[in-house]
Structure formats: structure tokens, C-alpha cells
Amino acid sequence: MRVLLIGSGGREHALAEALAADESVDTLICAPGNPGMARLGECVRVNANDPAAVASLAVTSAADLVIVGPEAPLVAGVADAVRAKGVPVYGPSREAARIEGSKAFAKEVMAAANVPTAAARACRSREEIEAALDEFGAPYVVKDDGLAAGKGVIVTEDREAALVHGLECERVVVEEYLDGPEVSLFVVSDGEAARPLLPAQDFKRVGDGGSGPNTGGMGAYTPLPWAPDDLVAQIMTTVAEPTLAELARRGTPFVGTLYCGLALTSKGLKVVEFNARFGDPEIQPILSLLESPLGELLYAAATGRLADFGTLWWREGAAVCVVVANEGYPESTVTGRPIYGADQEGVLHAGTALDAAGQLIATGGRVLNCVGTGASVAQARQEAYALAEGVKLEGGHFRRDIAAGI
Ligand code: AMP
Ligand code: GLY
């Protein structure tokens, strides 16, 4: 089959590698792709957030399956436009993607489906924000009610800082603080049937020990040796299945990845957030362990045949991803510096480009993803860090404690 993959980050490079390894995928087209993905398929320029442009590319490239990687095209309605052309697409409609695009909508769906989550107040004025901050107390959790690439949230003990952030947001949600470790579970769905991937954990803060501001994610590992055996089953029955059923009941079935971001709190499992796509960087280590054919799996989901797809197979062992970020990330990013050492097996491209002379340069905040595998998390971690140490990028930085002590 011919697969058109939309996106250009580390998540998409990982998807491209897994698709290229699937015998049923004979042609892979990446749009716009990146220099790493260019080794696996043809890269075609497109504005990924333009529904009409992506739909027309799906038709002219005779794609049998379109996979939409990032959230922005989904929220813009790219999947709807491709579907309207009769091309199978893995990725939710604009309406279903609101589960990520609007925190208030996600809360409404969870309330209707009886899914456990942090208590929250949508606020419209300074008075409402202050009342909600005082109702829940510290630590304060204040979220921008829109897409902010994981950066619209602050968690702080400082009431003033919480208030200032709240006043900066156009629409704001103030939430109860959830304690306990976080888990990401990605659930592949065709709108009815659902299949979980391996659970993972990511590291959101920029600095070691969880210091500094939130980022899109600085590293991740899978599976979770410390998690209870029934964790995935529990998430499926208490979170994923009721949420997917509620979206279907509303006439907006969710076809794509329901990303369940959870906290295992002292009062049980609770949803921190939903996203409408694979998590980045968690999907990178997860896919490095997937043995089942990814193209066939996502095609089955895109065509409503997931119930017929066999068991998912995984390699034994564990995988760890360490993100190499650009100087200044996440506040500001210095771009255009040369990168050396990126052509190692296990190094995925996230924010890279080739300059006019053909030199690989850093263009994004998160530049490369170093993915190691091994018999244990500790072994996988060693391999991931060996890769990260082998990368030369002036000002580049990575956390030293990804998956430490697991
Ligand atoms: P979100 O964009 O909703 O995923 O939030 C980004 C990050 O902020 C999450 O991954 C958590 O680390 C943290 N966070 C969000 N909501 C809460 C909460 N209610 N309690 C504690 N931490 C939270
Ligand atoms: N790793 C967090 C995210 O993809 O939103």
C-alpha cells in the first residue's frame, strides 16, 4: 500500500521507520517530512495545516492510507478533508480532536462518561480565577484552554504567578492538583474497537529532577516495570473505552490515537489530559519495541476493521528516548547551528533541516531523539545516552536523568 504520512517531527520519523519496516507498505510519502525521514521515503512539501492542500496531495499521490501525526492539522480539520475525498485516514475529525483542542470539552466528555479526572473550573474573570485558586489551594494548576504544545500549563506554589498566567490566557481552566506518577497510554481506535500500545512515561520539565519550565517532553521510556500488572486493562475500562463510547454516542466517533495522560494518584487513577495523536517523545521508544506491522494496524483502524486485527506483538525488553534540545529551549531557541553525529542507528530527527550546502542544521526546539533498546530499562538507557553523547551540537542540551533508577 501507498502511505502518506503528515508531519515533520521526531514522532513522524519514528512512525516512518516503523512503516518502512512493514512489508505491506511499498511506498512511503512524507509531507513535509525531515532529513531523517527522507532516507525512508519521498518527502513532499505541503502546508500540513491546510486541509484542502493535504486532501489534494492524498489524491494526487494515490495514497491508500493517510496518517496525520501532529495535533494542529487534526484540529484544523485535515482528517475530515482527506476522508471527504474517500481516502482512508488515521486521525480524528476536527470535532473528535476537540478532546485535545479544548480542555473544557475534554472535561465535559469525561463528566458525561464518568471518567475520573481532576476537578476543574473554567474561568472567565479575575474573580472567578481567584475563587478557583482558593477553592483548590496550592499547588495551583492553571491551564490555557487551547492548543499550547504542552506549554500552556503551569503548576506552581506561587498564587501570584498562577493568577498572572490565568489572566494571560484567553480562556482558562483552574484545576485540582493531582499527585503521583504520570503514565501515558496510547489507544489506537477505529471509532468503536480499541487497542492499547505499551504504557510509557515521559519527562516534561526541561531540567534534571523535574526542574525548570514544562516542555513538549525531554525523554521517555517504556514499558513501566513498576506498574501494576492490570494497569493497562484498568485504563482501558475506566478511561479509554467510556471516552470512546461517549464520543461515538455524540456522533463524533474517534478514529486515531486517543492519548490518555494519567496520574496514578493516592485516590486512584485520574486523567490529566487527553490528546488526539501519539505522544512525542513517548511513541519513539514504544515503536522501537513494536513487532506487529504498523501500517496494517493503522489501516485497520482507518477502515473500521480494528476488531479483526490480531494481537499486537512486542519485542522483549525496554526502550528509552533521550531528547537533544537546542540552546535556549523551551523559552527561546537558537537555530541554524550545524549538527554532527546524527547519522547513528537509533537517532531520529525532530527539528533538523539541510542548509544550502547540504549540512544538517538544528531548526527546532527539540532537535534529535536518541532511542536505545535493551533487555532492561537500565540497559536501554545506557544505549540512549551513548547516542546522545555522540551528538555534537553547540549549545545543545539533554536531561541526564531520563529513566534513571527505573
Ligand atoms: P497538560 O497540557 O494538561 O498535559 O499539562 C502539562 C503537564 O502539567 C502535565 O503533564 C502534568 O505534568 C502537569 N499537570 C497538568 N495538570 C495537572 C494536575 N491537575 N495536577 C498536577 N499536574 C498537572
Ligand atoms: N509527550 C507529551 C505530548 O506529546 O504531549
207 & 302 share domain:
yes
- Do 262 and 359 fall within a single domain? no
Residue 238 amino acid letter: T
The CATH code of the domain that includes 25 is 3.40.50.20
> Per the domain annotation, does 335 fall within a domain?
yes
Nearest CA to ligand 1 atom 2: 150
Q: Using CA atoms, how far apart are residues 367 and 62, in angstroms rounded to an integer?
A: 31
Closest ligand 2 atom to 220 CA: 1
Pocket test for ligand 1, best of 71, 121, 153, 185 (most atoms within 8 A of CB): 153
Whether the CB of 215 sits within 6 Å of ligand 2: no
Instruction: For residue 281, report the distance from its CA to the centre of ligand 2, in Å.
Output: 7
With CA atoms as reference, report the closest residue to 220 among 369, 15, 390, 70.
Answer: 369
Residues 293 and 192 in one domain: yes
Residues 255 and 322 in one domain: no
Ligand 2, pocket-test mutation among 153, 282, 286, most atoms within 8 A of CB: 282
Cβ-proximal residues to 35 (8 Å cutoff; 6+ apart), any chain: 349, 352, 353, 354, 360
Contact 205, 215 (CB under 8 A): yes
**Closest ligand (CA of 216):** 2
Whether residue 58 is contained in a domain is answered as yes
Distance 137 CA to ligand 1 centre (A): 16
Classify residue 117: in a domain, yes or no.
no
Say what the pLDDT of residue 102 is. Answer: 86
Domain stops at, among 290, 308, 326: 308
- State the total domains in the chain: 3
Residues 303 and 190 occupy one common structural domain: yes
Q: How would you write the pLDDT of the chain (406 residues) with one tens digit per residue?
A: 999 999 999 999 999 999 999 999 999 999 999 999 999 999 999 999 999 999 999 999 999 999 999 999 999 999 999 999 999 999 999 999 999 988 889 999 999 999 999 999 989 999 999 999 999 999 999 998 866 555 588 899 999 999 999 999 888 999 999 999 999 999 999 999 999 999 999 999 999 999 998 899 999 999 999 999 999 999 999 999 999 999 999 999 999 999 999 999 999 999 999 999 999 999 999 999 999 999 999 999 999 999 999 899 999 999 999 999 999 999 988 889 999 999 999 999 999 999 999 999 999 999 999 999 999 999 999 999 999 999 999 999 999 999 999 9
Say yes or no: CB of residue 201 within 6 Å of ligand 2.
no
Strand-pair partners of 173: 122, 143
Residue range of the domain that includes 205: 181-308
Three-class secondary structure of residue 262 per DSSP: strand
DSSP letter for each residue of 282-313: THHHHHHHB-S-HHHHHHHHHTT-GGGS----
Residue 401 included in any domain? no
For residue 316, the tally of other CB atoms under 10 A from its CB is: 8
Residues 187 and 243 in one domain: yes
Ligand 1 centre and the CA of 175: distance in Å? 9
Quick one: 267 and 361 in the same domain? no
Q: Are both 49 and 10 inside the same structural domain? A: yes
Q: C-alpha 361: how far from its chain's center?
A: 24
Query: How remote is the CA of residue 283 from the centroid of ligand 2, in Å?
Result: 9
Q: How far apart are CA 351 and CA 368, in angstroms?
A: 7
Does 202 contact ligand 2 (Cβ within 6 A)?
yes
217 within ligand 2 shell (Cβ under 6 A): yes
Ligand 1 pocket mutation, candidates 99, 102, 121, 155, criterion most atoms within 8 A of CB:
155
Q: What is the CATH number of the domain that holds 291?
A: 3.30.470.20
The pLDDT of residue 367 is 98
Nearest CA to ligand 2 atom 5: 279
Angle at which helices 241-249 and 103-113 cross, to 10°? 100
Same domain, 259 and 304: yes
Determine the Cα–Cα distance for residues 86 and 63; give it in Å rounded to an integer.
10
Is the domain of 31 the same as that of 75? Answer: yes
User: What is the number of other CB atoms lying within 10 angstroms of the CB of residue 335?
Assistant: 16
* Domain limit, last residue, from 69, 90, 111: 90
Give 301 Cα–ligand 1 centroid separation in angstroms: 29
Supply the pTM of this predicted model. Answer: 0.94
Q: Is residue 388 part of a domain?
A: yes
Rounded CA gap, 211 and 311, in Å?
Answer: 40
Among candidates 12, 383, 343, which has minimal Cα distance to 221? Answer: 383
Residue 333 belongs to domain with CATH number? 3.90.600.10
- Residue 296: CB atoms within 10 Å: 18
Q: Would you give the end-to-end CA distance of the chain in angstroms?
A: 40
Q: Select from 282, 308, 334 the last residue of a domain.
A: 308
Residue 284 CA, ligand 1 centroid: distance in Å: 21
Torsion of Cα atoms, 103 then 104 then 110 then 116, to 10°: 70
* Ligand 1: centre distance to CA 332 (Å): 22
**Are 331 and 372 in a shared domain?**
yes
Residue 171 lies in a domain: no
Nearest CA to ligand 1 atom 3: 273
From the CA of 282, give the closest atom in ligand 2. Answer: 1
Are 248 and 356 contained in the same domain?
no
- Cα–Cα distance measured from residue 173 to residue 104, given in angstroms and rounded to the nearest whole number: 7
Could you check whether the bond before residue 338 is cis, i.e. omega within 30 degrees of 0?
Answer: no
d(CA 45, CA 353): 13
Q: How far is C-alpha 124 from the chain's CA centre?
A: 29
- Assess whether the C-beta atom of 150 lies below 6 angstroms from ligand 2: yes
Answer yes or no: is the C-beta of 150 below 6 A from any ligand 1 atom: yes
User: Taking Cα atoms as reference points, which of 249, 218, 247 lies closest to residue 384?
Assistant: 218
7: β partners: 32
Bridge-based pairing of strands 339-340 and 172-175 is: unpaired
> What does the radius of gyration of the chain's CA atoms come to, in whole angstroms?
20
Whose C-alpha lies nearest to ligand 1, atom 4?
Answer: 273
> What one-letter code names the amino acid at 46?
V
- Is residue 139 one of the residues assigned to a domain? no
Residue 153, in any domain of the structure: no
Distances (CA, A) of 18 to 40, 141, 154: 10, 37, 34
Q: Which ligand is nearest to the CA of 121?
A: 1
Rounded to whole angstroms, what are the CA distances from 370 to 229, 373, 398? 28, 10, 10
CA distance 109 to 273: 12
* Measured distance CA(347)–CA(357) in Å, rounded: 22
Q: How far is CA 374 from the centre of its chain?
A: 23
